[in-house]
Structure 1
Amino acid sequence: MRIQLYDTTLRDGSQGEGVNFSLQDKLLITSMLDELGFDFIEGGFPASNEKDSEYFQRVAEGVPELHGGGTRPLANAKVVAFGMTRRKGIAASEDQGLQALVKSKAPVCTVVGKTWDLHVTEVLRVSLEENLAMIRDSIAYLKSEGRTVFYDAEHFFDGYQANPDYATKTIRAAIEGGVDMVIFCDTNGGSLPEKIAATIDSIRPHVTVPFGIHCHNDCEVAVANSLKAVDSGAVQVQGTINGIGERCGNADLVSVAANLALKKGRQVLAEGGVGRLTEISRYVYELANMNFRNGQPFVGRSAFAHKGGMHVHAVNRIAHSYEHIDPAVVGNERRILVSELSGRSNIMAKTTKFNLGDDNALMKRILDRVVELEAEGYQFEAAEASFDLLVKKEIGQYEPKFRRLHYHVVVQMDASGLDSPGARPALPMTQATVKVQVGNRIELVAGEGDGPVNALDNALRKALVPAYPQLSTMRLVDYKVRVINSTEGTAAKVRVVIESADDQDVWSTIGVSENVIEASWQALADAIDYKLLKDNGQLT
C-alpha cells in the first residue's frame, strides 16, 4: 500500500531556529518536492503573513522549472494551506483565518484544533463543548467550499492520556464535520513508540476515516514513532526534509521515506524519487543556509564513510558486510577515510584510481606518512584532495605547477577620524604580495582582500591565471580554523581546512602551522594544485 508523504518544511520547518525561507526558496523547494513525488506540500499559513499568502497565489500559476527557464504546473503533489479552527463566538464563514484558507486557492486545507482538555480550558479558555463545535464547524465550512480537509489533532497523545473520553470526542467532532483525514499529532514530541502504538490501537475503533501521523523529535524518536504509526494503520506521514523545525525539529521525511521504501517495502514518492533523497536533503540545507549534518542517516556524508581498517577490508570484499543498503539507492556514495587508525586496506581502497596494484611496501610508506603528518596535526579524512596530492608525491608523480618564492601580508588600520564624536572606525585594509615561479617566469603581484586569506588568494590568482586561465572558475566555498594544541595558548598550532569548488567538483585541502597565515597558504596552494592536476587528468 502506498503511504502518503506530507511535507511541512515550508511551514513547520521554517519555525526552526535560524530557518527563514524567501518566497523564491519556497517555490524552488516546492518544485523539487513535486519532482520527487511527495503527495502533499504544506505551503504555509496564509492568514499569518503576506509572504505565505503570496506563495499560494504564485504556486497556483506554476512552480519554477529547476532544469531550465519558465514555470510548470505541479505534476505529483497537492499544495496545502494551514490554519486553525474558528475563533470562539464567531461563525466559521466569518472567521478571517478560515476565509484566508479559502482565498488561498489551495485544494487541500489542514486545520489544527485542540485535543487536550488542558489546552481547551487553560490556553483557549473556552468550554469543552465550544471547542468541539469549533472543530466541527470549521471543517464543515471548508468542506462546503469544496476543499479536501485534514484535521491535525494537536497534542493528541498527551490529550488522550490525560482524558481519553474527551480526546475521542474531538476526533468524532472532526469526523462529524466531514473531515477527509485525521492526523494524530505528538506535538510535544514526548511520546515513545510503544505509547504511539497503544494509543492508536485504542482510538482506532472510533475512527471511520483514514488517519495519519505528525511527530516532533524532542525525544529523538520522531522517525521511529512515525514508522510505528504506519504499522498501526496510518496512511500518511507528516514531517520535514532533514527534520528541521521548532525546538528539536520534526520527523525527518528523508529517513521516513527511505525506511518505508527500503525496509518495509511500502510505496512512496514517484519512480526514482528515493534515489534523489540525498539531492533534496542537500538542496534544502543550501537554501536554508544550514550546514549539512554529516551523520544524518542515509544521506549524510558520513552515512557510508569507513575509517577503521577492519571495516574497510571487509567492505572491499563484501560491501553489505558493513553497509545496510547500497549507498547509490538513495543517491549517496561510499567514502573511504584515511587517518592514523587506518590500515593498508584503507590506503589500497583510497588509491584505487591511481592503479598502484598490490605494492604493499608503497602502501606502508603512504600509511606511515599519513601517521607522521597526523601526529603533527593534519587530518586527511577532512581533506581528501590533500591526501591525493600526498599520494602523488609518494609515488614520484608530483610536479608542482608553481613554486612559492615569497609572500608578504600587511594588515593596516586607519586611525583617522576616530577622535570625532560618533565616528565609526574604518575597516582594516589587507594587502598581500606574492612572488612565485611559474615555469621559467617570475611573477611578483599584489592583491587586496577582506582579510589575509582573501588577499593571498587574490594575489596568487592574479599571478597564476595568465598561465592557468581555468583558475578563474575556481572559488573558495568554506574556510575553517581549529586550534590543535590549545594548552599552548596563542602559540598553539592551528589546522586550516579550505573547501574549494568549480563548475564540476568540490574538494577540501589542509594546512597546519603555528602561523594561521602559513597554514592558510598551505591549504590554498594545495587547492590550486589539485584543481590544475584534476583538470589535466593527472589524478587518475
Structure 2
Amino acid sequence: MSLIHLYDTTLRDGTQAEEISFLVADKIRIAQKLDELGVHYIEGGWPGSNPKDIAFFKEVKKVSLKQAKIAAFGSTRRAKTTPEKDNNLRTLIEAEPDAVTIFGKTWDFHVREALRISGEANLELIYDSLAYLKQHVAEVFYDAEHFFDGYKANPEYAIDTLKAAQQAQADCIVLCDTNGGTLPHELPAILTEVKKHIQTPLGIHTHNDSECAVANSLMAVEHGIVHVQGTLNGFGERCGNANLCSIIASLQLKMGHQCLTEKQLQRLREVSRYVYELANLVPNPHQAYVGNSAFAHKGGVHVSAIQRHPETYEHIRPEQVGNVTRVLVSDLSGRSNVLAKAEQFNINLDSKDPVTMEILEKIKDLENKGYQFEGAEASFELLMRRALGSVKQFFSIIGFRVIDSKRHGEEKPFSEATVQVKVGGRIEHTAAEGSGPINALDNALRKALESFYPQVKDMRLFDYKVRVLPTGKGTASITRVLLESGDKNMRWGTVGVSDNIIDASYQALVDALQYKLLKDAEDE
C-alpha cells in the first residue's frame, strides 16, 4: 500500500474552534509532540494574520524536529496587486517555512460574490500566486477551497481552477469540503472525474458539519488521494475538522496504508490527551480509538467474552493505539466484571469465593442508592479490599464540623472546617479555612493528617464534579460527588453520595486520602 502523507492543521484550523486558544509556547510543545508521533507536515499558522503566528515561525526554528516539516498557511494574492507586492505572499516567504499552503476560490459563486472578479481573473490569481511561491519555497500546496460545493455548482470551472494550480506546478492540490456538507457516496464519481484532468498528487481536507469528515477522508484515500489533512481530536471551527486520530488508526490498521511506525502509533492516545490538556479541554471519553470508553466493557456477557477472546467485542487491540481494555462495574455487572477488576488491582479473588457475590450485591445496592463507580475506580478498589479485610485503616474520622457564614452582604462567605482524626491511639484536632465549605474540609483533613503522613502534601485535587440525582425532592435531592485526585505518579477517582453535599464530598475526600496512603504503602 502507498505512503499517505499526514498534514496536521491543529495549530491553525484547530484554533478556530471557539473554545481553543494556544499560547506560542503551547504551539511549540504541540508541534514537538506531533513530530514525535510521526506527522509529516505541521501547519503552524497564518503568519500574515497575527503576531502570534509570526512568533511561532520564529521560535520553531530553534527546535530540532525529527521528521516533520513546518508549513505556513495563507491565501492567493489580492486581485489588484502583483505577487511581488502582495504583503500576504511576502510574509509567507519571510516566515521561512519548509512548505507553504495557500487557498484559493474554486466555487464560481464565491468568485462573483466574495472576490467580485471574473472567473478568468480568479484563475490568474491562483496561477500567479503559486508560480511565485514556487520560486521561493521548497514545497507549495494548493487548498482548493469549497471544491466539492464548487464542483456540484459548476464542474467545468471547478476543474479549471485545479488546472491553473497544476500549471503553476503546485506539489499537491488539496480538495476541500469547506462547509462540511459532502457525503461519502458523492466522492467516488467526483474524484474519478478530477483524475481525468489532473495528474498532480491530490489531497483531502474535510470538515465535520455532516459528521462525515473522517469517512470522507478515508473514502478519498480509497480513490487515490495521497495527502490527508486534519486536526488532532477533530478540533476546528463549527463542528470541527476531520479527526486525525481516527484517520491515522483506520488507515493503518484497517486499510493497510503506511502512515506511522508501530511504536509511533502506540503513542496516539498519549498525544491526543496531551493536546486536550494544553487546550484546557476535558477529553471526550467516547472518542474512537483513544477515548477512555473506546474499549470499556460494562455488561457481564461482554466482559466474560473478551476475557476469552478480546476480538468478540473489540475491533482492534487497544494497545496498538496506546489504549487499554477497561472493565466497568455497575448494576449490570456479573461475576466476570468483578473478577476482571480484581485481576487489574492484583487482588486474589476466586469466582467461587462467597466474597465475590458479596461484592457484587454491595455494588448493586450502592448503585441503587446513587453511587457510580465508572469514574471512581479507587473507591471500587477500596470497596473490594474492605470486603476481603485486606485494607489497612490508616485513619478514622471521629467527627467534623463545617461553618459557612456571610458576615456582611457585600463580602464573600467565610468557610471554616474543624475535624477530629484518630491515627493509632492518637487524636488530632485541627481547623482550617477555605474558599468554600468543601475546600475548607479538604484543607482541614490534610492538615490533620500531615503530621502522621507527610506525603499527603504531594496530593492534589484535579477535578470536582457534583450531580444532583433525579429524585424529585428539589433542594433535598440526593447528591453524587466525583473527585479526581492525583500526585506526581498517578491519578485516581473517588465517589460519595448523600442528601447532604458536604457529607457526599467528605466520603469522596476520605476515600481519596485512604487510596493515596494505600498505594504509597504498597510502593514502599
* Aligned-residue CA RMSD (Å): 1.2
After superposition, what is the alpha-carbon deviation per residue over 1:471-521, rounded to whole angstroms, capped at 9, x for unaligned? 111110100000113411000000000000111111100000011000000
Equivalent pair of 1:60/1:105 in contact (CA under 8 Å) = no
Structure 1 position 388, deviation (Å): 0.7
Structure 1 position 538, deviation (Å): 8.9
SS of the residue 1:289 aligns to:
coil
Equivalent pair of 1:241/1:254 in contact (CA under 8 Å) = yes
After superposition, what is the alpha-carbon deviation per residue over 1:201-224, rounded to whole angstroms, capped at 9, x for unaligned? 111111121011001011111111
Q: Taking every aligned residue pair, what percent have the same amino acid on both sides?
A: 52
SS of the residue 2:191 aligns to:
helix
Q: Do structure 1's residue 395 and structure 2's residue 421 form an aligned pair?
A: no
SS of the residue 1:54 aligns to:
helix
Match in the other structure for 1:22: 23
Match in the other structure for 1:382: 375
Matches within 5 A, 1:205-216: 205-216=196-207
Equivalent pair of 2:273/2:283 in contact (CA under 8 Å) = yes
Equivalent pair of 2:276/2:282 in contact (CA under 8 Å) = yes
Q: Do structure 1's residue 373 and structure 2's residue 358 form an aligned pair?
A: no
Q: Distance in 2 between matches of 1:250 and 1:409?
A: 48
SS of the residue 2:263 aligns to:
coil
Q: Distance in 2 between matches of 1:538 and 1:122?
A: 68
Match in the other structure for 1:533: 518
Q: Do structure 1's residue 100 and structure 2's residue 91 form an aligned pair?
A: yes
Q: Do structure 1's residue 222 and structure 2's residue 241 form an aligned pair?
A: no
Q: Do structure 1's residue 342 and structure 2's residue 343 form an aligned pair?
A: no
Matches within 5 A, 1:154-233: 154-233=145-224
Match in the other structure for 1:436: 421
Match in the other structure for 1:42: 43
Q: Aligned letter for 2:466?
A: V
Match in the other structure for 2:447: 462
Q: Distance in 2 between matches of 1:382 and 1:269?
A: 32
Equivalent pair of 2:141/2:174 in contact (CA under 8 Å) = yes
Structure 1 position 356, deviation (Å): 1.4
Structure 1 residue runs of 5 or longer lacking an equivalent are 63-72, 419-424
Q: Distance in 2 between matches of 1:530 and 1:445?
A: 22
Structure 1 position 428, deviation (Å): 2.1
Q: Aligned letter for 1:14?
A: T
Structure 1 position 106, deviation (Å): 0.5
Structure 1 position 264, deviation (Å): 1.1
After superposition, what is the alpha-carbon deviation per residue over 1:174-216, rounded to whole angstroms, capped at 9, x for unaligned? 1111211100000111111111222111111111210110010
Q: In the alignment, which of 436, 443, 450 is matched to residue 451 of structure 1?
A: 436
After superposition, what is the alpha-carbon deviation per residue over 1:276-313, rounded to whole angstroms, capped at 9, x for unaligned? 00000000000000011000011000001000000000
Structure 1, 24-33 or 449-458: larger mean CA deviation? 449-458
Match in the other structure for 2:303: 312
Q: Distance in 2 between matches of 1:87 and 1:485?
A: 59
- Which contiguous aligned blocks of 4+ residues in structure 1 show a shift greater than 6 angstroms? none
Equivalent pair of 1:85/1:134 in contact (CA under 8 Å) = yes
Equivalent pair of 2:93/2:137 in contact (CA under 8 Å) = no
Structure 1 position 269, deviation (Å): 2.5
Equivalent pair of 1:211/1:234 in contact (CA under 8 Å) = yes
Matches within 5 A, 1:44-83: 44-62=45-63, 73-83=64-74
Q: Aligned letter for 2:367?
A: E
After superposition, what is the alpha-carbon deviation per residue over 1:79-136, rounded to whole angstroms, capped at 9, x for unaligned? 0000001111110111111111001010200000010001110111111111111111
Match in the other structure for 2:322: 331
Q: In the alignment, which of 500, 508, 523 is matched to residue 523 of structure 1?
A: 508
Equivalent pair of 2:335/2:351 in contact (CA under 8 Å) = no
Structure 1 position 360, deviation (Å): 4.2
Q: In the alignment, which of 224, 228, 245 is matched to residue 236 of structure 2?
A: 245
Match in the other structure for 1:359: 352
Q: Aligned letter for 1:236?
A: H
Q: Aligned letter for 2:279?
A: A
Match in the other structure for 1:507: 492
Structure 1 position 265, deviation (Å): 1.2
Match in the other structure for 2:399: 406
Q: Distance in 1 between matches of 2:350 and 2:360?
A: 15
SS of the residue 1:265 aligns to:
coil
Match in the other structure for 1:488: 473
Matches within 5 A, 1:265-276: 265-270=256-261, 272-276=263-267
Q: Distance in 1 between matches of 2:491 and 2:89?
A: 47
Structure 1 position 359, deviation (Å): 2.7
Equivalent pair of 1:148/1:180 in contact (CA under 8 Å) = yes
Equivalent pair of 2:450/2:457 in contact (CA under 8 Å) = yes
Equivalent pair of 2:350/2:356 in contact (CA under 8 Å) = no
Equivalent pair of 1:405/1:436 in contact (CA under 8 Å) = yes
